[in-house]
Structure 1
Amino acid sequence: MPDIPAATPRARVRVPLRFADGYGTDAELVTFHGLTDGREHLAVVLGEPGPVPLVRLHSECLTGDVFGSARCDCGPQLREAVERIAGRGGVLLYLRQEGRGIGLYNKLDAYALQDQGLDTYAANAALGLPEDARDYTAAAQMLGALGITELDLLSNNPDKAEQLRSLGIAVRDRVPTGVFTTAHNVRYLRAKVLHTQHTLPLAELTELTAG
């Protein structure tokens, strides 16, 4: 197990969550001391977590989470994750890693390049940025601070599971999210399959892209 600094809970507060479609639940929001990257990440504890809770690492997406942008699937994934985790018991880690870690302004610059025909990963490369700059050390610290050493991971992204395992977190199973396809994000979703092996239906996405 790697030697990473321990984080500790900083504060806990109960918050009622209400979504535009009428779904609501209560959550405990947890902040932390000692996160290695110095960012203000947040744990959203939902339901009654058991010995092996359901966990999602959700990277912040202002355009998708807040404004409902259809260019990605982040907003629908966040909404789905809250309900699924609340139903089983677990934690959503809301990580301040906008644009796969490149930041909001760079993400919007990449959008402009995508409008010229590049996919999301090629656009990052054209800006001199990594395809995916996210590091999940802080996520492992947060899980450790919450006493979670084993989990089922709600994710289509194999890199998240691999990084958590390398950081000493036992990932028992990787549970896929739903597929939230729009006319605006199908090329984005297909790129995630081709570049980073996300578990999404490639044949279906290819057909939609061709159409």
Structure 2
Amino acid sequence: MSVNAGPSGAVRVVSSPLPTVYGAFEAVGYLDQDSGEEQVALVYGDIGAADGEGILTRLHSECLTGDAFGSQHCECGEQLAGALRAIVAEGRGVLVYLRGHEGRGIGLLAKLRAMKLQAEGLDTVEANLALGLPVDARDYRVAAEMLHDLGVRSVRLMSNNPRKREALLRHGVEVGEQVPLLIPPCEDNITYLRTKRERLDHHLPHLDAVVSSP
């Protein structure tokens, strides 16, 4: 098995075809030598060999409750599905699935504790702080390294979070456009989404239509 080193901690270990309900992707597995985390990028079409410019890209933070269990506390599962559909419709693109980002980087059990506090009346920011944890502990270094290794020079970033754009720019990935990935809110996540907009600066203009809802 060949191992190709990226520019820093991300080391490419394996690449395998991955047929999905959305389309036929290539799963490219990496080991982050700094954190020890195993990471994966789902690649569709020719993203690097031609020019590597303007690649439709999603950096998706691991969310077991949303991605696997269909939780409506957040919109993560629907964003994951929407991003994969958009990449296939585009004809090429990449989704970097960032393990170790559970609960904005605080881990699964801490996230569940935070969710319990939210059910008791705190918002998502207040809950993390009440637990003595950072509001957002995520680091996007490894995502940038994976994109560099894949030959991606600039991206059209599917995200509502300005911090993801800033992080990629810091790590040398050009962001030509930030593409909204807006999911219709539901009763169970509207408070969470409002907090993301009001306290975490997420661009969520579609909430205006429901801003007065109880």
- The normalised TM-score by structure 1 is 0.90
Mapped to 1, the partners of 2:117 and 2:76 lie a distance apart of 20
- Aligned residue runs from structure 1 range 1-211, under 5 A: 5=8, 7-18=10-21, 24-49=22-47, 51-88=53-90, 89-96=92-99, 97-201=101-205, 202-208=207-213, 211=214
Mapped to 1, the partners of 2:152 and 2:18 lie a distance apart of 22
Moved over 3 A (4+): none
Unaligned runs of 5+ in 1: 19-23
| AA partner of residue 142 (structure 2) | A
- Equivalences, count: 201
1:179, distance to aligned residue in structure 2 (A): 2.4
| AA partner of residue 162 (structure 2) | P
- The normalised TM-score by structure 2 is 0.89
Unaligned runs of 5+ in 2: 1-6
Mapped to 2, the partners of 1:35 and 1:92 lie a distance apart of 20
Contact 1:153 1:161 in 2 (8 A): yes
The change in CA–CA distance for 1:129 and 1:6 in structure 2 (over 3 A counts) is closer
| AA partner of residue 12 (structure 1) | S
Contact 1:6 1:144 in 2 (8 A): no
Contact 2:196 2:202 in 1 (8 A): yes
Contact 1:76 1:180 in 2 (8 A): no
